[in-house]
Chains A and B, each alone.
Chain A
Amino acid sequence: MIKFIEEMFRNLNTWGLTALTFILGFAEFSLGLYGKKWNKNEKFLDIASYTAPKLIVGPAVAYFGLKFLPAAFPALKGTLTWIPFTFGALIIAIADDLTQYWYHRLHHEIPWLWRFHRTHHSAPYMGMAMASRQNIWYTFFFSQTYVTTILVYLGLGYPALFVKALKSLITKLAHSSIKWDKPFYEIKWLHPIAWVLERTISTPATHHAHHADVTDDGVGYYKGNFGNMFFFWDIIFGTAHISRQYPKTYGISHYEGDQWYAQLFWPVFKSKVEGSELAADGPVVREDIVKQPVVEEEEESYSPEEDLDLQPSLVAASVTSVSVNNS
């Protein structure tokens, strides 16, 4: 049984997740979930963003793990192999995902970093097409990749195999335009599971809110929900917003289709769109274009207080965090 699970995760890490991306992407495309927003420029950017890291960043990380670390710290190789699997997995999961939470959050909260992350947010749709969409420098300096590579070098490669596959699965599904979490909010007896789920891992509802083109309208919240695999970082640090609803529109309110190469390689290439944050003389952070908030009509608004009978202390904590951030 353990062999089977091990093989499953090994396959996920090699070809499984790539296959899943294509299957989900095909399903999303067939269901028309990208609408007419996936134009030529966006297609180029999404495909280049998916391919470029494999050609450029992959070899860089491989060099770091297979050449640099053994040359710089030969005595440290495998020094942590005595750590039991459970603790190894816990160490990797926290080290990797908390580092990514910070990397992500800082790119939103420190103005001069924003433009390196903007490419991921400019997509006016959600789905597999945009899940890997990033500025090349943002991907290159993905801090958690190097943290995890160091831990693997120290001897935590086996637990990393499981954690990384699980993380990729959760993050891909959180970006998908297939709202797999919706039944958990609609079916009453599933509500307790939904309550735990949405506070533990990233779901389409919470992550889509992060990708909304508006914030503080009760649904969209790009000022928070930074968690990648785990959502409880946002709960702990007060950056969470849970509404159990999905934004009607995604992206950046003032996005005007910056050239794909500018989005991928900024600041090496600049956007030709006047006034764009990626243009040569563009602002570091541009003000949002204010519009009326749009919410899916059939959705009922959700308030965390409704579930107070479940776990009052935890709900209170998350309610506090939400209200603080909405102020």
Chain B
Amino acid sequence: MKTPKSTIQRIAKNALLSLFIYALPVILMFITFSIKGERPWLKKDNKVNTVSGKNNSLKEEDND
């Protein structure tokens, strides 16, 4: 059973838009830094923004 061509076209179109949405928070963040004149990535004493090791393996319970 093949995927209809119209579905593939819609998926491709929406996927392109998704790439922009993925990038949006990063773009917004750098615009904010630019306005405020901040460059936090240059700071050497970056506070480690991680929680305990167990959160590295965040469990996935959420389903569709």
Residues of chain A at the chain B interface (Cβ within 8 Å):
10, 13, 17, 21, 53-54, 57-58, 61-62, 64-66, 78, 80-85, 87-88, 90-91, 94-95, 98, 100, 102, 104-107, 109-112, 117, 120, 131-134, 139, 142, 144-145, 148-149, 152-153, 155-161, 164, 167-168, 171-172, 175, 210, 226, 228-229, 236-238, 283-285
- Among B14, B22, B43, B63, the residue within 8 A (CB) of A171 is B63
Q: Are B1 and A171 in contact (CB under 8 A)?
A: no
Q: Are B49 and A111 in contact (CB under 8 A)?
A: no
User: 3 nearest interchain CB pairs?
Assistant: A62-B57, A157-B50, A65-B56
Q: Are B62 and A167 in contact (CB under 8 A)?
A: yes
Contacts of B56 in A (CB 8 A): 62, 65-66, 149, 152-153, 157
Please report the C-alpha to C-alpha distance between residue A104 and residue B59 in the assembled complex, in whole angstroms: 18
* Residue B35, interface by CB 8 Å: no
Contacts of A90 in B (CB 8 A): 25, 28-29
Please report the C-alpha to C-alpha distance between residue A54 and residue B49 in the assembled complex, in whole angstroms: 26
Q: Are B18 and A102 in contact (CB under 8 A)?
A: yes
* Residue B3, interface by CB 8 Å: yes
Contacts of B61 in A (CB 8 A): 17, 21, 53, 131-132, 168, 172
Look across to chain B and name the residue whose beta carbon is closest to the beta carbon of A111.
Answer: B1
Contacts of B49 in A (CB 8 A): 78, 80-83, 85, 88, 155-159
Q: Are A54 and B63 in contact (CB under 8 A)?
A: no
Contacts of B28 in A (CB 8 A): 87, 90
Please report the C-alpha to C-alpha distance between residue A175 and residue B62 in the assembled complex, in whole angstroms: 10
Please report the C-alpha to C-alpha distance between residue A58 and residue B60 in the assembled complex, in whole angstroms: 8
Contacts of A110 in B (CB 8 A): 3
Contacts of B18 in A (CB 8 A): 98, 102
- Interface size counted on chain B using CB atoms at 8 A: 38
Q: Are A132 and B22 in contact (CB under 8 A)?
A: no
Known: A81-B50, A164-B58. 19 other contacts (CB 8 A): A61-B59, A66-B57, A78-B50, A81-B47, A81-B48, A82-B41, A84-B40, A87-B25, A94-B25, A100-B62, A102-B15, A117-B64, A149-B57, A155-B48, A158-B51, A168-B61, A171-B63, A236-B21, A285-B1
Q: Are A91 and B48 in contact (CB under 8 A)?
A: no
Q: Are A61 and B40 in contact (CB under 8 A)?
A: no
* Residue B34, interface by CB 8 Å: no
Q: Would you mind naming 13 contact pairs between A and B with Cβ atoms under 8 Å apart?
A: A10-B51, A53-B61, A61-B57, A82-B46, A82-B49, A87-B25, A94-B25, A100-B62, A107-B64, A120-B64, A156-B49, A156-B50, A157-B56
Q: Are A284 and B1 in contact (CB under 8 A)?
A: yes
Please report the C-alpha to C-alpha distance between residue A23 and residue B22 in the assembled complex, in whole angstroms: 36
Residue from A21, A83, A98, A238 whose CB has the most chain B CB atoms within 10 Å: A83
**Minimum distance in angstroms from B35 CB to a CB of chain A:** 14
Contacts of A132 in B (CB 8 A): 61, 63
